[in-house]
Amino acid sequence: MPELPEVEVTRLSFADRIKGAKIQSVRLGKPLRWPLGCLPQDLQGLCVKRVNRRGKYLLIEMDPALLILHLGMSGSLRFEPLPQLQGEQGGRGVNAVATVARTHDHFVMQTNQGTLILNDPRRFGAVVFANNAQAPIVEKLLGRLGVEPLGEDFTALDFYKSLKARRLSVKQALLGGQIVVGVGNIYASESLFLAGIRPTRSSAKITKAQSILLHQSIRDTLARAIEVGGSTLQNFSNAMGESGYFQLESFVYGRQGQPCRRCQTAVKQIVQGQRSTFFCPVCQK
Residue 130 is given by DSSP the state: E
Q: From CA 152, how far away is CA 113, in angstroms rounded?
A: 34
Q: Of 11, 17, 53, 56, which one is the catalytic site residue?
A: 56
Please say whether the dihedral angle defined by the alpha carbons of residues 168, 174, 178 and 184, taken in this order, is positive or negative. negative
Residue 9, H or E segment: helix 4-18
Q: Of 27, 201, 224, 275, which one is the catalytic site residue?
A: 275
If phi > 0 it is left, if psi is from -120 to 50 it is alpha, else beta; for residue 183 that is beta
The pairing of strands 126-130 and 268-272 is unpaired
Residue 231 is given by DSSP the state: -
Catalytic residue check, 275: yes
Tell which residue, 140, 148, 143, 206, has the closest CA to residue 173: 206
Q: Do residues 49 and 63 lie in contact, with contact meaning Cβ atoms separated by under 8 Å?
A: yes
How many Cα atoms within 13 Å fall on the side-chain side of residue 67?
Answer: 28
Catalytic residue check, 2: yes
Q: From CA 230, how far away is CA 92, in angstroms rounded?
A: 38
Q: Which residues 6+ apart lie within 8 Å of 161 measured at CB?
A: none
How many Cα atoms within 13 Å fall on the side-chain side of residue 251?
Answer: 23
Q: Of 2, 5, 149, 199, which one is the catalytic site residue?
A: 2
Catalytic residue check, 56: yes
Please say whether the dihedral angle defined by the alpha carbons of residues 185, 187, 188 and 192, taken in this order, is positive or negative. positive
Catalytic residue check, 3: yes
Q: Do residues 175 and 275 lie in contact, with contact meaning Cβ atoms separated by under 8 Å?
A: yes
Q: Of 3, 6, 8, 80, which one is the catalytic site residue?
A: 3
Catalytic residues: 2-3, 56, 275
